[in-house]
Amino acid sequence: MSLLVVGLSHRSAPVSVLERASLAVETQAKLLQDTLAAEPATEAAVLATCNRIELYADVDKFHAGVAELSTLLAQHSGVGLEELTPYLYVHYEDRAVHHLFSVACGLDSMVVGEGQILGQIKDALARGQELHTAGRLLNDLFQQALRVGKRAHSETGIDRAGQSLVTFGLQQLAAGADPGRWAAGKRALVIGAGSMSSLAAATLARTGVADIVVANRTRSRADRLVEILQQGDDTAVRARAVEMSAVGDELTRADIVVSCTGSTGLVLTADAIADALGVTPAAAPERPTVTVTPAPADVDQHAAWVENGSAASAAVAGPATSLHRVTVPAQSTGPVRLALLDLAMPRDIDGAAHRVDGVRLVDIESLAEASADAPMAADVDRVRTIVSDEVAAFGAAQRAAHVAPTVVALRTMAAGVVAGEIARLDGRLPDLDEKQRAEITQTVRRVVDKLLHAPTVRVKQLASEPGGAGYADALRELFDLDPQTVAAVSRADLNDPNRGRS
């Protein structure tokens, strides 16, 4: 296994950089295809959310892999490599597995413990499978990450350590008030009908809003979301769908707006919001700068830190070495007439909307600041233990799987020897009846199976331990196995259409 991940997230980069580096679905597909075409990579998967962009690959050369993946991320994100590099982080082998498992459990989320990341990991796996860029390693890795994430949520109270971005965002809009009381009776406009927008609509309905209007570019998806909302037994919300062209009119009647679309441009401008409220945008003072800590500042430095595989890879995930300062504007003062929650990346709502009188805007950037001081539950430590145990188990399984084709090739060779000797016996003793021949054949096979049983079981056990990869090579050398036969077994396993699918 030579798993490599290169990426950036809210922990390593300011939101302004994440926003510019965001990848549309079609861009993700092109990135995967180009990664596979690059020499160091044999498999690839991309995990792109509003809070992170990560490229996973199975590579045969670490240094070349880091350089190639970093370059590809820069090319497809549209952010220059020199500008992007200070915010990139690198994880290799077991550290890469540990990172994805932690992400799946919500430990690396902006709001610790949120479960939306599991759906995003599932989507990343499905995309890799559809494009045939996820092979045996990444199929196994992402499938196991999903299982680890589900285990963490079912066996611990990690859900109590934080909430979904939607719930957390509504709490910020309520500004200290009880979200249920704050939202009761209000009218909400939800822009978008994807997974996050659907979650937002359902959360608003449970919170107690009276009316929800759903606007989406594809009207049928908006209609479907409205149908789901009206079928809910735990709410009495009134819901209807509109075309995107009606957003301006609906804005004049809304108290709360939640937007999360895949648009690459602004969905709501500050002028449109001001027009809906009948006011004029006003200048506002800026807040003090906020310090953001990015990853180490040089891709070559990343590579230099890893000399002996996973043994040195902890340094790659070590503390950052440089600081970046961003300036975030203040909210307007006065009574709030329109509460805006922007969960999109890149943003849907003009950041200048905070200057419109009567507007409160909460977006990914302000959520990142607010969640920085969120309390951590004791269950987080339990989840970390689960992640560590699962990383060890995954590594052992992968190392054991590495020796499996050699064991299969050995048993295939042994079966061939038995068949050859039985054929020779037939030539020497042609008068053997079928019963005698069957008994002799079964006896020879039993002898061979007993001779091979202990060493093959033991070699699988040894191979599952750290540093056990060499046992497969030793087995091939001792029994003079044909490398092409072993490779053929590996290819057959890799091409199994049922492998890695749930």
List, in sequence order, the alpha helices (H) in 429-467: 434-463
Q: b/e map of 360-398 (b: 16 or more CB within 10 Å)?
A: bbbbbbbbbebbeeeeebebbeebbebbeebbeebbbeb
| Helical (H) or strand (E) element with 58 | strand 52-59
Distance, CA of 475 to CA of 479 (rounded, Å): 6
What is the three-state SS of 202-270? HHHHHHCCCEEEEECCCHHHHHHHHHHHHHCCCCCCEEEEECHHHHHHHHCCCCEEEECCCCCCCCECH
User: Which of the residues 32, 50, 209, 267 is marked catalytic?
Assistant: 50
Asked if 257 and 303 count as a contact pair (C-beta separation under 8 A), the reply is no
Distance, CA of 130 to CA of 126 (rounded, Å): 6
Instruction: Give the pairing of strands 89-92 and 359-363.
Output: unpaired
50 is catalytic: yes
Q: Which two tokens stand for residue 256?
A: 């709360």
* Neighbouring C-alpha atoms within 13 Å toward the C-beta of 269: 5
Which residues partner with 215 through β-bridges? 191, 242
Distance, CA of 346 to CA of 355 (rounded, Å): 20
Distance, CA of 78 to CA of 105 (rounded, Å): 30
Q: Which of 197, 202, 214 is nearest to 261 (CA)?
A: 197
Q: Among all chains, which residue has been given the structure tokens 């500004």? A: 175
Q: What is the DSSP string of 300-318?
A: HHHHHH-SSGGGTGGGTTS
Instruction: Give the pairing of strands 187-191 and 41-48.
Output: unpaired
Asked if 153 and 382 count as a contact pair (C-beta separation under 8 A), the reply is no
Asked if 53 and 77 count as a contact pair (C-beta separation under 8 A), the reply is yes
Biggest alpha carbon distance in the chain? 106
Distance of CA 135 to the CA centre of its chain: 16
Asked if 55 and 114 count as a contact pair (C-beta separation under 8 A), the reply is no
Number of helical (H) and strand (E) elements in the chain, helices listed first = 19, 12
Which residues are known catalytic residues?
50
